[in-house]
Structure 1
Amino acid sequence: MNVLRRLFKIGQAETNSAIDKLEDPIKMIEQGLRDMRENQDASMRSLAEVKAMHIKRNRELNDAIQREEDLQNKSVLLLKKSQSGEIEANEAENFVRENLRQKAKLSKDILLMKEDVATLEKQVASLEINVKNIKTGISQWENELNTLKARVKVSSATQKINKQMTNMDSNSVVSMLERMKDKVNQDEALAQAYGEMASASETHEDKMNKAIENISVEDELAQMKKQLGI
């Protein structure tokens, strides 16, 4: 079937493929399967042709055997008629001799026909096995190809993910985390500093005014209690 040779032909599936990349292996296998289907079709035609030859030769054999039997029966009948006086003995024997000569020739032909029929029968059986093997092989390899296509998709996706993970090495990740922590610490410290600055923004004068206000309030409260006799 020349499957391997066909599978490794460069440019069969993609004529513009670069030599260093060769062909897409999936397309190469698909091309090989197409070639195998063509071989299957050719094998089917060959099988049909050989079967037709076998049928034709077998019919010829059966016809020859029938003619041989007819000649034998006619010869016996002629001898019986000669014996009963229905026909002259010499005439009957001449007919019988001619029949026997034809029968002898037919016997040789029958032997050759039997050999041909046996040979064709073997060829039919061999071709039937080949056709069956091709069908089974195509079905099996198509299933394997579908499985490989799915595996190719998974492996391609896995490869992309692993490549991304490889590009992000552990050192760079740790470095990024450390820089992030430093920035967060810095932002927190800055926020605390602004808070402290806001608390410290109250001036000494403001504190004194609050104290005076508190004192005035206390004096006024004491005076009100005194007036009320409390």
Structure 2
Amino acid sequence: MNIFQRLFKIGQAETHSAIDKLEDPIKMIEQGLRDLHTELDQANRALAEVKAMHIRRGNELKQYREEQETIHNKSVLLLKKAQEGAVSIEEADQLVKENLRKKADITRRITEADLQVASLQQQVTALEGNVTKIKLSITQWESELKTLKARVKVSNATQQINKQLMKMDSNSVASMLERMKDKVLDEEALAQAYGEMNQKEESNDEKVNKIIEEISVDDELAKLKSQLGIDNAKEQDSPSS
């Protein structure tokens, strides 16, 4: 079943008008899938009913054949009894004739039942084929629906992007790029400024630490000389100074 043939049936519209009014194919395919599921339910119900009839007629056919076999066996037994003298030949013949009439009626029923069973089997086969076709159509449509939904998403995204691009002419793009370049340059200059400030702070810290270190060494030297009894003033007046 072609997908477009089925789409054209939805809404009972003619083919050309359906093409012109095909505004939302996704919704139409979803409606088509709902219709297919309804058809599948109906086909399964019909298949079950025909199968039930086929089983019933098959059981009846089996019963007729069993009755036919039973009548045949009884007739053979009666004839044997007549030969043995257990029953008169006239009575045996009469009973066998009655059995043969019953057998003929059952044979007619068997013939009719055979034809009905064969016909029902053909109907079962045809209905099973229809059910399989509908299932395959549903599978195909569901796959096509997934593909179509994905394509719609891509198409919508592409349209949105294209609309945005249409709003941006070459001048606006160039202006935006220049603004971005200026912003990058500002950020780079700011980063460099922070770096220089950090280096300067480190240099000042080093000078302070060195002064503190020198003061500390002079104090330690004076303290050591004091412990040794060395007069710093005399040291400075000595000839060696």
The equivalent residue for 2:38 is: 38
Q: Please say if residues 10 and 23 of structure 1, whose CA atoms lie closer than 8 Å, have aligned partners that are also in contact.
A: no
Question: What CA distance in whole angstroms lies between the structure 2 residues aligned with 1:92 and 1:119?
Answer: 40
The equivalent residue for 2:109 is: 109
Q: Deviations over 1:34-82 (max 9, x none)?
A: 0000000000100000000000100110111111111111110100000
Question: What CA distance in whole angstroms lies between the structure 2 residues aligned with 1:70 and 1:144?
Answer: 61
Q: Please say if residues 3 and 35 of structure 1, whose CA atoms lie closer than 8 Å, have aligned partners that are also in contact.
A: no
Equivalent pairs, count: 174
Question: What CA distance in whole angstroms lies between the structure 2 residues aligned with 1:78 and 1:161?
Answer: 98
**1:20–1:97 CA distance, 2 compared to 1 (3 A):** closer
Any stretches of 5+ residues in structure 2 without a counterpart? Answer: 13-18, 183-241
Question: What CA distance in whole angstroms lies between the structure 2 residues aligned with 1:155 and 1:118?
Answer: 55
Structure 1 residue 162, shift from structure 2 partner: 1.8
Question: What CA distance in whole angstroms lies between the structure 1 residues aligned with 2:97 and 2:51?
Answer: 38
Structure 1 residue 149, shift from structure 2 partner: 0.8
Q: Please say if residues 61 and 110 of structure 1, whose CA atoms lie closer than 8 Å, have aligned partners that are also in contact.
A: yes
Structure 1 residue 11, shift from structure 2 partner: 5.8
Question: What CA distance in whole angstroms lies between the structure 2 residues aligned with 1:68 and 1:28?
Answer: 59
The equivalent residue for 1:194 is: none
Relative to the length of structure 1, the TM-score reads 0.66
Structure 1 residue 133, shift from structure 2 partner: 2.2
The equivalent residue for 2:149 is: 149
Question: What CA distance in whole angstroms lies between the structure 1 residues aligned with 2:171 and 2:10?
Answer: 45
Any stretches of 5+ residues in structure 1 without a counterpart? Answer: 13-18, 185-230
Instruction: Tell which deviates more after alignment, 138-147 or 1-10.
Output: 1-10
Tell which has more relative contact order, 1 or 2 (C-alpha 8 A, sep 6+).
2
The equivalent residue for 2:85 is: 85
1:45-56 to 2 correspondences below 5 Å: 45-56=45-56
Instruction: Tell which deviates more after alignment, 3-12 or 113-122.
Output: 3-12
**1:57–1:173 CA distance, 2 compared to 1 (3 A):** same
Question: What CA distance in whole angstroms lies between the structure 2 residues aligned with 1:144 and 1:2?
Answer: 12
Question: What CA distance in whole angstroms lies between the structure 2 residues aligned with 1:4 and 1:85?
Answer: 83
Question: What CA distance in whole angstroms lies between the structure 2 residues aligned with 1:10 and 1:126?
Answer: 26
Q: Please say if residues 10 and 32 of structure 2, whose CA atoms lie closer than 8 Å, have aligned partners that are also in contact.
A: no
Relative to the length of structure 2, the TM-score reads 0.63
* SS across alignment from 1:130: helix
Aligned residue identity for 2:121: E
**1:115–1:66 CA distance, 2 compared to 1 (3 A):** same
CA-based RMSD: 2.8
The equivalent residue for 1:123 is: 123
Give me the identity figure in percent: 58
**1:103–1:158 CA distance, 2 compared to 1 (3 A):** same
Higher helix share: 2
